[in-house]
């Protein structure tokens, strides 16, 4: 069964940095694009970033462009999200999701909570 | 990257049908047949229920169906069951980005 496990969340002060990880298992990670999606408390889903299977294409949403960096290590089946210059409005549960057929998010992790507060 | 428009809530009695609309623009829903739908129960991760406008992943009951017309997509749940009570989100690809709708709360009366 496809499994995605996020880690690295926590409490950080405004202006700080955090690096999230997403460990993938039970599928050929190197053949799939991957996404990061977040959900602020009580709010809807917001797409953040996508990375192609080989890292050749990378896209960002407007709200994180220039502050967040997506990357991956196919040798370790792991996806990353480096988050810099964090703001209180970045407080959310951060999910990694596999890019499935027809541009879908076909499998999701359980999420990791990031809280930006002084 | 504007969000897709969904109604905040819909409700129905067990056995009835409910339909959730998802309105986009020429930049997303109109141009790309890449609308998908996700179900999210409280405290859990979203789950894909419809992709490519009207395709169901393995394991999703056939009471879930999708359609698209002009700039709107729709998710219909037929034969509503108590376990269908959840939030539902639509999503579309849109030129090097993805966009979600604001979400719709489905309540089973």
The DSSP result for B12-48, as a single string, is E-TT--EEEEEE--TTTTTT----EEEEE-TTS--EE
User: pLDDT class for B95, splitting at 50, 70, 90?
Assistant: confident
The Cα A86–Cα A36 span in angstroms is 16
Q: What is the pLDDT of residue B29?
A: 64
Partner-chain contact A106 B57, CB within 8 Å: yes
Which residues on chain A are in Cβ contact (under 8 Å) with B43?
none
- How far B102 CA sits from the closest chain A CA (Å)? 6
Q: Which of B48, B89, B99 comes nearest A106 by C-beta?
A: B48
Partner-chain contact A47 B47, CB within 8 Å: no
pLDDT of residue B1 exceeding 70, the answer is no
- For B73-88, what is the mean pLDDT? 96
Percent of chain B residues past pLDDT 90, beyond the cut:
73
The Cα B59–Cα B82 span in angstroms is 18
pLDDT of residue B26 exceeding 70, the answer is no
Q: Which of B40, B47, B51 comes nearest A101 by C-beta?
A: B51
Those residues of chain A that have pLDDT short of 50 are none
Q: What is the pLDDT of residue A29?
A: 97
Give the CA distances from residue A79 to residues A114, B12, B78, B98, in Å, rounded to whole numbers and listed in that order: 17, 40, 38, 18
Q: How do residues B2-24 score in pLDDT, each as one tens digit?
A: 788 999 999 999 999 999 999 98
């Amino acid at each position: 069964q496809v499994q995605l496990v996020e880690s690295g969340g926590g409490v950080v002060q405004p202006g700080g940095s955090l690096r999230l990880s997403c460990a993938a298992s039970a599928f050929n990670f190197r053949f799939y694009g991957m996404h990061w999606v977040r959900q602020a408390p009580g709010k809807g889903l917001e797409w953040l970033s996508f990375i192609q299977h080989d890292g050749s294409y990378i896209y960002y949403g407007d709200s994180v462009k220039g502050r967040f960096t997506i990357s991956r290590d196919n040798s370790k089946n792991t996806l990353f999200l480096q988050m810099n210059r964090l703001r209180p409005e970045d407080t959310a549960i951060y999910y990694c999701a596999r890019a499935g057929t027809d541009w879908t998010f076909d499998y999701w992790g359980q999420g990791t909570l990031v809280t930006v507060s002084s | 990257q504007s969000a897709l428009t969904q109604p905040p809530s819909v409700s129905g009695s067990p056995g009835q049908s409910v339909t959730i609309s998802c309105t986009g623009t020429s930049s997303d829903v109109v141009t790309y047949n890449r609308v998908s739908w996700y179900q999210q129960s409280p405290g859990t991760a979203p789950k894909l229920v419809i992709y490519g406008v009207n395709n169901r992943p393995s394991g999703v009951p056939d009471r879930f169906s999708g359609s698209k017309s002009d700039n709107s997509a729709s998710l219909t749940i037929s034969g509503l069951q108590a376990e269908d009570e959840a939030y539902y989100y639509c999503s579309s690809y849109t030129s090097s980005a993805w966009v979600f709708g604001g979400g719709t709360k489905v309540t089973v009366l």
